[in-house]
Each structure stands twice: as structure tokens, then as C-alpha cells.
Structure 1
Amino acid sequence: MTSLGSWKKPPFLQPGDTIVGISPSGPIKDVTAIEKAQEIMRSQGYNLELGKHWNDQYGYLAGTDEQRRDDLLEAFKNPNYKAIIAVRGGYGAARLLEEKDWKTIFTNYPKWLIGFSDITSLLWKRAKVKISSIHGPVLTTLGQEPDWSLKRLFNYLKGDPLPPLQGQGWGNGQGEGRLLPANLTVATNILGTPLQPPLNDVILALEDVGEAPYKLDRMLTQWRLLGAFSGVKGIALGRFSGSNGPANSWTVEEVLRDRLGDLGIPIVSELPFGHDGVNAILPVGMTVKLDGDRGSLTFIP
């Protein structure tokens, strides 16, 4: 395990390695998407195995907390598994972190963890102990990624550098810090809990899905009231899909500019990550530079 300053980076993958898919959140809806993901993994030279309870259902969860927690523990502790990818998001990952000494588990079994949306809870818990993860596609969305996004993921898993991403700059110069990606709703729900990593000197990367503009306003206002943006060096905004309001509503962009535009830090919007479209990977904990004038997000090895 190499170091990212005081951060730890799990070992990169080798041809023939096995990646395990687990369901820490909601139940799967489309098994054919898993078959497509298996084809993609094989084409890249990796084996894909699935956790014991990957296709279970317990209400709106993919199995009981005990079943999902057991799969998560097995994924980290089994030496045959070199990386872990979530089957899908949904809801429920944070429930798994109420018990166990996860700091020791994550530290003793450093492996790449890949996912987004509800998987934010796991990404942030690992970030709190300064272990890098990958904010990126889950198994059910892997087959929807364009070739350049898949290449970006698998090249990075081999240890290759990441090219920059381009969006729409809002000004305020440049900021540099550790990248901390998140689903806005999930991150808001764990602010102030033991799952929240420090927010000082980070570049936040935020996305969401299906949240009306007033709900985005409410969440961002909570961040403001908590002073959570005070140490943030910049904000990278991805896709906020399916976030339509009534006829008299502000648009998503109007809400984001109203709640973030006065922070005096670099902000770049329209970056290619999030739900319902390309989801370019974002390594958690990597040092990045956000250029609010040029609209770029650059990854510093």
C-alpha cells in the first residue's frame, strides 16, 4: 500500500485478479446488467465474483444488516479478492457502519472500493481514516459507461495517471486539495456523524439524483448553517439529474449558484460524473487542482 502524503493508496491490480461485487445497499433490479458487467470485467482481464448475498432482498435493502455486513467483511478479508465494487446503490450502506472496528478492518485489508451514490457512506468512512477509494460506476451502471470512461477506470486500476476533466468554470481562480466526492443527499445525512471525514483543505465533488431544487436548497443551507464549507478549497459539481421542480421553481443551476456562488472559492459545474449519464471516476483522497476560471479538474499523481 503506497502513501498519498498521509493518505494510503491500495495496491493497483494485476491481470487475472479477482474483483468481488457486493450489495451493501438496495436490492438489484436488473440481473442482465450484471451479465454485461461480467463481460466487461473479462474483457479487461479480470475475474468478477459476487458476494453470497448480492441478490438478496429484505424490504428496500439487499438482505439484512447482518447479511450485508458479512459480505462486506468477507470482501475485505478474503485474500483472493483484490478489489471491491458495489452492485448498486439505493439505501442502507450507512447501517453497516454502526458496528465493528471499521478503522482497523479498512487499514488491515487495503483494497480498492468502487461505487457512488449510497456508497458515499463507505467512501467517506474510509476517507476519515485516509484510505483512498474510487467514486465511480457500480456493476449495474458499468455497461452504460462510454468507452473513454471505462478506459479511464481500468487504466487507473492498473496505476496509470488520470487525464483532467473539463466543465464550466464559475471563476474565483484555482484551488488545490484532497478530492472528496459524494452524493449530496447521503453526505448531508452523515454530516456531524462519526462517518464524516474532515472537510478542511478538500475539493468537494457533489452530485445527486431526483431531488427537487428546493430540497437541494435545503441541504446546501444546512451545510452553510453548520459552517461546513468554511475550510473547503473548491467545489466540483457533477450531474443533478431528475431534479425538476414546479413551474414557479428555481432551476437546479439557480439554486446551486445562489447557495454556493458567494463562497469565494473556485467552482466548476457540468463535470461528467453522477447518475443518468457518464460517471467518470474520481479517486477519493487524490490531490487535485480545480480551476474555476478555465473550468478544469486536474489530477496530481
Structure 2
Amino acid sequence: MTEFNVNNPLIEQRADPWIYKHTDGYYYFTASVPEYDRIELRRASTIQGLTDADAKTIWVRHETGLMSANIWAPEIHFIDGKWYVYFAAARTSETKDGLFDHRMFVLENSSANPLEGDWIEKGQVKTKWESFALDATTFEHKGIRYYVWAQKDPEIVGNSNLYIAEMENPWTLKGEQVCITTPEYEWEKIGFLVNEGAAVLKRNGRIFISFSASATDFNYCMGLLTADEDSNLLDPRSWNKSTDPVFTTNEETGQYGPGHNSFTVSEDGSQDIIVYHARNYKEIEGDPLYDPNRHTRVQAIVWNEDGTPNFGVPVPDTKPVLNSK
């Protein structure tokens, strides 16, 4: 039995959680706040320490225009000696349509400690279309930096697909963008046709990209893309998608709508950790996007004999314990 000794929920009312362990020994945490109006950052020397760590606001939405509403899903990365935060933002609007007017943006900080120094707006990450785009992440592989994100293709029915492209620098894409998954299975199309919230894990000679699907209520769940590390990651044929969801609501453990995850490692580096949000109740009044109780949770990943990750079931609101295979 593998025990990962952290109490869940790790941080209440923080959706789309991102935890990054840096070479300085600190864990850095950011996530969507219920007000969707700012980006916060906190750090601690342990994962559990993030629970009570001070949250510093590093950026606040604009009053009007771009980046003025619905600040969603920030991620913090360290690239070539500088810190970058990727996030999505919409424009203020008198109509509900403004809710889905998101574009993707980047902040940069050259300080050693990202809770200090200045965060500079590097602007919008421009893609093929001016359409709904969000949930960007980035990773490096064999000397090439890639960008993975969710976007609405005006020619495809649905809300968002996942795309990958090479990066010229941390805020500019290079070359063609490639679609690597569209919602096709029933579990990806409940409420909305959604593929979003990508997170990358490189292990065992493969590149894994987890993603979330369907509406943000109890139907929200995770799928998995897999590519060989020696394959052409810009070729859609290199990516194989799970036919079934890999992480879903579990009524027995009282966890609903797990998803929009990230990955980190335990303090000693021996365990891979999945970081995700979920609610502890099923029925929601009103729009799920405005229900604030998607809490940040973590648990250890078990690795199957074939080298693929096994996320198990979202554990109850107690100390996470997973059975190893």
C-alpha cells in the first residue's frame, strides 16, 4: 500500500490547480480564484505547507478591454532563467457571450523568487484563429519547447479541442498548430463538447497528456493521450487517446467532477502526484462555473506494469491512501 500523507482538500475554493516544484526546493501554487479577477501565487517547502501559505496577488485584471474578466487557470513555469505565468482571460461584457470570449496571455518575471520583483505582461499568445482559447501549458522535449492548449475551431462543432505547436519563445508560437484530440466519445460530450485543461507527464519512454472533458459539474472527467518519446509530437498520428476516462466522479468516496489537473512530485521525489480539483457534493444550484467549491486535492499516482499511469479513484476527504498493484 502506498500512502501519501497529505490531507485533502489541500486548498479550498481553488479550481484548476497548478503545483510546480522548483530547483530551489519550494513548491509553487496557483489556481483560479472564485472571483476570477486576479492571479495569486503561494509557495511552501512541502505540499501540505501550501494549505496555510500566504497567497500573494501578483496580477489583477484590467478594468476594460482584453484581460478584464474571467481570469482562468493560471500556470507558473520556469523557462530559461525566468518565470512565466500562462492564463486565459475574457473581456468585460454585458451579455453572457462574454463568458466564452477567452484568449491566452503570458506574464514574465526575472526575479529568482517569483513572489518578488515585477510581473510584465508579454501579451496574447496568437494562434491560427481569434476564437475561444484557454488552458495553455508548456513543456520541453529534446531541446524543443511545445505549447499545448484548448481552442474552438470555427469549422468544428463543439466547444474546444486540444492543439500543440512549437514555440519560438515563451510567448510566441512557431509553425503550424496541430489538433491532437477532439471530443468524440460520449464521456467527452456531456453538457458541452470539451477537451481542455491539458497537463504533461514524461515517464517511461512516453509523453502523457491528461485532459478534462464534458461540463464542469459531476460529469467532468479526465482522459489521457500517449505518445512515444521518439515520435513526432507534431503529428496527430503520434497521439493515442484513451477510449475511456481515466479519472471520474466516485460517489463512494464523495468526490464529484475531478479534473483540470497538474502533476508534481513528493518531497523526496519518489512519487508522482496528481493535483486536481473536485467538489464533495453532486447537486449544484445555478451555473457550475460560479459554484466556488471546486477544492484543490492531491494524491499519489500508481504506475501500471506496462508503464502507464493509474490515477485510481479520487480519494475521500481524508488522508489519501492508494492500493499499489
Question: What is the TM-score with the length of structure 1 in the denominator?
Answer: 0.31
Structure 1 or 2: more strand by fraction = 2
Question: What is the TM-score with the length of structure 2 in the denominator?
Answer: 0.29
Structure 1 or 2: more helix by fraction = 1
Higher RCO (C-alpha under 8 Å, 6+ residues apart): 1
